Amino acid sequence: MADSKTIAAISTPNAVGGISVLRISGPEAIAAADRVFRPVSGKPLSSHKGYTAAYGTVFDGEEALDDVVATVFRGPKSYTGEDVVEISCHGGLYVTRRILMVIIKQGVSLAGPGEFTKRAFLNGKMSLTQAEGVADLIMASGQQGLRSARGAMQGALYRKIRDCTDRLLTVSGHIAAYMDYPEEEIDPVESNEIRDALADVKAQLDGLLANFDQGKMIREGVETVILGKPNVGKSTLMNLLAGTKKSIVTDIPGTTRDVVEETVTLDGLVLRLADTAGIRETEDFVEKAGVELALQRLDTAQLVLAVFDSSSPLSQEDKDLIQRLEGLPCVAVCNKSDLDQQLDMEYLRAHFPHIVEISARENQGLSELSREVMDVLSLTGTDGSGPMLANLRQFECAQRASNLLGETQATLVGGYTLDAVDVSLESVISVLLELTGERVTDAVVDQVFSHFCVGK
Ligand code: GDP
């Protein structure tokens, strides 16, 4: 069970807005709210059923602070599993803080980061991976990230890990029963049964581990570099993706001087872009700085969009660029497809497995571009909602469990006793329970929730 202290916090951002929401959770939540809130109906909140709202005024002594709506949730049917009151007041910074202060004066404690969700976890309302999904949902900046966070919140990863755990528990239970009650007529444990279960679970975990980078791109966006010599249409492409004109587009080669950071979405996937100065060798210091920045970013880029001008033949500069891009996750973007085609497509095809023809100016070819991008990132067919490891904690647990499973397999193949196999299995199960939060130390739980916002 969670701490029995009653806690409160402002759940909305620390900013002026239409409405602010304060949340109170714990055994004294309703009583504390009743001491500061005078409902128009005259019916105290303590007489309200769960999921009901009351309109009234919050007072600090005899000073009326604000007219608000107070919503009552009764545990266990609330977000935290405890009694909860949510107060929606006018969204001013001062008024919201005054209301928080008057609630705190009632003997209520200030909530720490993520403390409401932590209580939901401790009260069994959600697994640790689901709670982590809540944090990811709040941070999601694109459709794919949103889907993946919702998948986690709805328990996609939890269920998968739970299935793995159950499978291993069944085997472990069978081994234990067989060893502990030899006189009972328990079927002997077939090593095939153990071997298959270990292999299946290991394959599931290894699949999750292999997709970790894809999940990260879906959640956090893809570090993308747009490269190409001046005037091929990089800024036009970027503006098209962004939907707004952020870079300066001009006919004079080399006018996009420095790296302009921008986040855009392509088919729901967030691309963290940098438009750059042309890659052309130049004496112009400012432009050169931009080029160098772009080239530096190539080392860490998860995606490179190499832009060429279809209306002119490949130049030596283009060919030099192509050489530098060898082996990188790159899509060759042949822009200006609305003009006469002059590009040596054979040459490009020999160097790029992923090529697309677009007209950034005429907004043509974006869906083909998106298809190639998804393909080069191995995201084709991923809608983000399936089970995925969402952070390093989960990754590290899955990695540990997979390694330990490898050891269990070796124990089995090595002809050790079933006892030894069972001990090894137990250690795998323990790590999987740590992943879902079913058997986890307070330090890990505190660490997870320390990344949350106050009020969540
Ligand atoms: P950058 O130097 O690579 O960033 O190129 P810009 O985006 O500044 O574009 C250079 C010129 O090419 C501008 O006059 C654009 O309007 C033009 N341009 C860009 N994309 C297209 C396109 O798809 N078709 C045609 N015909 N012109 C384009």
Cα angle 402-303-273, degrees, rounded to a multiple of 5: 120
Which pLDDT value is given to residue 44?
98
Residues 330-346 pLDDT 10s: 999 999 999 999 999 99
Of these ranges, 43-52, 142-151, 413-422, the one predicted with the greatest mean pLDDT is 43-52
CA atoms within 13 A of residue 29's CA, in its CB half-sphere? 31
Helix (H) or strand (E) holding 335: strand 330-335
pLDDT for res 96: 98
Query: What does the alpha-carbon distance between residue 155 and residue 133 come to, in Å, rounded to a whole number?
Result: 9
Mean pLDDT across the stretch 40-63?
Answer: 97
- The residue contributing the CA closest to ligand 1 atom 26 is 336
Q: Is 441 helix (H, G, I), strand (E, B) or coil?
A: coil
In short, whether 310's Cβ falls inside 6 Å of ligand 1 is no
- Model pLDDT for residues 246-263, shown as the tens digit of each residue: 444 445 555 544 445 567
Bridge partners (DSSP) listed for residue 58:
37, 66
* Six token digits for residue 393: 């904690």
- C-alpha torsion sign, points 349, 351, 356, 361: negative
Atom 15 in ligand 1: which residue has the minimum CA distance? Answer: 233
Residue-wise pLDDT tens digits, 284-333: 444 554 566 667 778 889 999 999 999 999 999 899 989 999 889 999 99
pLDDT category at 266 given cuts 50, 70, 90 is: confident
- Residue-wise pLDDT for 72-115, tens only, equals 999 999 999 999 999 999 999 999 999 999 999 999 999 999 99
Give residue 182's pLDDT: 67
Alpha helical stretches, state H, 330-417? 345-351, 366-376, 392-413
Q: Note the pLDDT of residue 11.
A: 96
Adjacent-strand bridge partners of 64:
59
* Mean pLDDT, the chain, integer: 89
CB distance 230 to ligand 1 below 6 Å = yes
Dihedrals phi, psi of 92, to nearest 5 degrees? -95, 145
349 burial type by CB count under 10 A (0-12 exposed, 13-18 middle, 19+ buried) = exposed
| pLDDT given for residue 451 in this prediction | 85
- Beta strand extents in 30-163 (DSSP E only): 37-39, 52-60, 63-73, 84-90, 109-110
Q: Which ligand 1 atom is nearest residue 360's CA? A: 23
Least confident of 267-271, 370-374, 440-444: 267-271
The residues, ordered by sequence, that sit 6+ positions from 183 with a Cβ below 8 Å of its Cβ are none
The pLDDT assigned to 418 comes to 86
Query: Using a 6 Å cutoff on CB, does residue 233 contact ligand 1?
Result: yes
Tell me the pLDDT band of 190, cut-offs 50, 70 and 90: confident
* H-only helix segments in 140-190: 143-153, 156-180
CA of 253 to the centre of ligand 1 (A): 10
Task: Determine whether the shortest distance from the Cβ of 251 to ligand 1 is under 6 A.
Answer: yes
Q: Is the CB of 456 under 6 A from ligand 1?
A: no
Residue 231 alpha carbon to ligand 1 centre in Å: 6
Taking the CA atoms of residue 433, residue 448, residue 215 and residue 409 in that order, the dihedral angle to the nearest 10 degrees is -30
pTM: 0.79
Residue 283, pLDDT above cutoff 50: no
pLDDT at residue 413 in the model: 87
Distance, in Å, from the CA atom of 385 to the CA atom of 151, rounded to the nearest integer, reads 5
Q: What confidence score (pLDDT) does residue 300 get?
A: 83
Tokens 């309302």, residue located: 125
Asked if the model's pLDDT at residue 69 lies above 80, the reply is: yes
| Phi–psi pair at 57, nearest 5 degrees | -125, 140
Q: How far is the CA of 289 from the centre of ligand 1 (A)?
A: 22
